[in-house]
Amino acid sequence: MASPNSMSLASPDAMTPCYILGIESSCDETAAAVVRADAPCGERVVSEVVLSQLEDHRPYGGVVPEIAARAHLSALQALVAEAMQRAGVGYGDLSAVAATGGPGLIGGVIVGVMAAKAIAMVHDKPFLAVNHLEGHALTPRLSHDVPFPYLLLLVSGGHCQLLVVEGVGQFRRLGTTIDDAAGEAFDKVAKMIGLGYPGGPAVQAAAVGGDPRRFDLPRPLKGRPGFDFSFSGLKAAVRRSIEQMPPGPLSAQDKSDLAASFQAALVDSTLDRVRRAVRHFRANWPQGTALVVAGGVAANAPLRAELTTLAAREGLDFVAPPLKWCTDNAAMIAWAAAERLALGQSDPLDFKPRPRWPLDPDAPKARGAGAVKA
């Protein structure tokens, strides 16, 4: 997908490889990666290691911030050392050091930011505090060299947004969730039904063999103007459906039917918003060619299938980065830093970690929006 604004990102000295260390610690994965910015698509990620804290949080049915912060601190040093060792480069060979600077759970963000700042200071390298959402948003360029502008559906445990990515640091938010994020809804519904954590894979698995029409669940905001999302009413409707069932434990079939009905409603509601956004994007950004999905919920097979069909029908390329780069990872942080570095950007060593950090600060605040988790 060659284009005037695609890579590669040149090193200041064309002979010196441009290695960037990235660190991610904003939610429940601790990750480190080394990316070679001047390499062709497909050869850029030199090393990457991820440690999931899933088991630490599983008993709580969700991410506990203090548990996450402690786990990041215990894991970080060994992970960074491993990423550097696998890459076979020394700290002095790096062109920059990057960490997620927010948005996210602040205790974890601080851990990655402090380590990255310290490394950058010792070796006198540029430090970049990367917006975690920009990391997700620019991943299709790491994996597929997608040219600007493109339409991005960012769906994760903490976010659900439709963005036009016009350039590095240039985002136009079309819509966002006015209450829960999609991944959050999956987690909460899975918890109510008793399917375990994390909810996304659990609901998808339970929905196989379930009847998506058994429970008549709402499709929030479907057919309404705008591009916002809402999932809390859907979640409440699942709760009511369970409460109205005869007393006693749910049967396996009940669980499957609930999961299938919920998943169908969520996908249906999401698709309605994306369909509207695609038409708006095509009308206003006619040079755009791609619909991109990123974030952990991009792993949901029915959603992916529907998005593929939608993009084909609307004449857009559908791009989904590999799943390991859809969920939280450090390669996307190093890559976003590479894109910013190529534009001459870096951040001061007194950068303040940011629990909230919207990609499009000019976007109107969504009613009731308040998700903090990244």
Residues that bind another protein (CB under 8 A): 59-61, 64, 66-67, 69-70, 73, 76-77, 80-81, 84, 91, 106-107, 110-119, 121-123, 191-194, 196, 239, 242-243, 245, 248-250, 349-353
Least distance from another protein to the Cβ atom of residue 146, Å: 33
Name every residue whose Cβ is closer than 8 Å to that of residue 365 and which is 6 or more positions away in sequence. Answer: none
Asked whether residue 131 is marked as a ligand-binding residue, the answer is no
CA 13 to mean position of chain CA atoms = 33
- Comparing CB distances to another protein, the nearer of 245 and 343 is 245
- Comparing CB distances to another protein, the nearer of 137 and 192 is 192
Angle CA(31)–CA(160)–CA(34) in degrees, nearest 5?
20
Asked whether residue 145 is marked as a ligand-binding residue, the answer is no
Least distance from another protein to the Cβ atom of residue 345, Å: 19
- Comparing CB distances to another protein, the nearer of 177 and 241 is 241
Other CB atoms within a 10 A radius of the CB of residue 89 amount to 18
168 vs 74: CA distance, rounded Å: 33
Least distance from another protein to the Cβ atom of residue 118, Å: 3
Residue type at 105 in one-letter notation: L
| Structure tokens, 313 | 């029908």
Least distance from another protein to the Cβ atom of residue 31, Å: 15
- Comparing CB distances to another protein, the nearer of 79 and 221 is 79
- Comparing CB distances to another protein, the nearer of 163 and 238 is 238
Least distance from another protein to the Cβ atom of residue 27, Å: 16
- Comparing CB distances to another protein, the nearer of 134 and 347 is 347
Q: Please, what sign has the CA dihedral across residues 55, 60, 63, 69?
A: negative
Least distance from another protein to the Cβ atom of residue 101, Å: 10
Stated as kind and residue range, the H or E segment containing 32 is strand 29-36
CB burial of residue 15 (10 Å; 0-12, 13-18, 19+): exposed
Least distance from another protein to the Cβ atom of residue 62, Å: 9
Residue 274, helix vs strand vs coil: helix
Half-sphere exposure of 4 (CA within 13 A, CB side): 3
Whether the CB-CB separation of 18 and 39 falls below 8 Å is answered with: no
Stated as kind and residue range, the H or E segment containing 143 is helix 132-144
Q: Burial letters for 217-229: b for 16+ Cβ neighbours within 10 Å, e otherwise?
A: bebbbeeeeebbb
Asked whether residue 284 is marked as a ligand-binding residue, the answer is no
Asked whether residue 93 is marked as a ligand-binding residue, the answer is no
Least distance from another protein to the Cβ atom of residue 353, Å: 6
**Tell me, what DSSP letter sits at residue 58?**
G
Asked whether residue 200 is marked as a ligand-binding residue, the answer is yes
- Comparing CB distances to another protein, the nearer of 84 and 331 is 84
Residue type at 374 in one-letter notation: A
Asked whether residue 300 is marked as a ligand-binding residue, the answer is yes
Place of tokens 């989904």: 320
Angle CA(60)–CA(258)–CA(252) in degrees, nearest 5?
80
- Comparing CB distances to another protein, the nearer of 84 and 133 is 84
Asked whether residue 156 is marked as a ligand-binding residue, the answer is yes
Which residues are documented as binding site for substrate?
154-158, 187, 200, 300
Annotated binding-site members: 132, 136, 154-158, 187, 200, 300, 328
Residue list, annotated binding site for Fe cation: 132, 136, 328
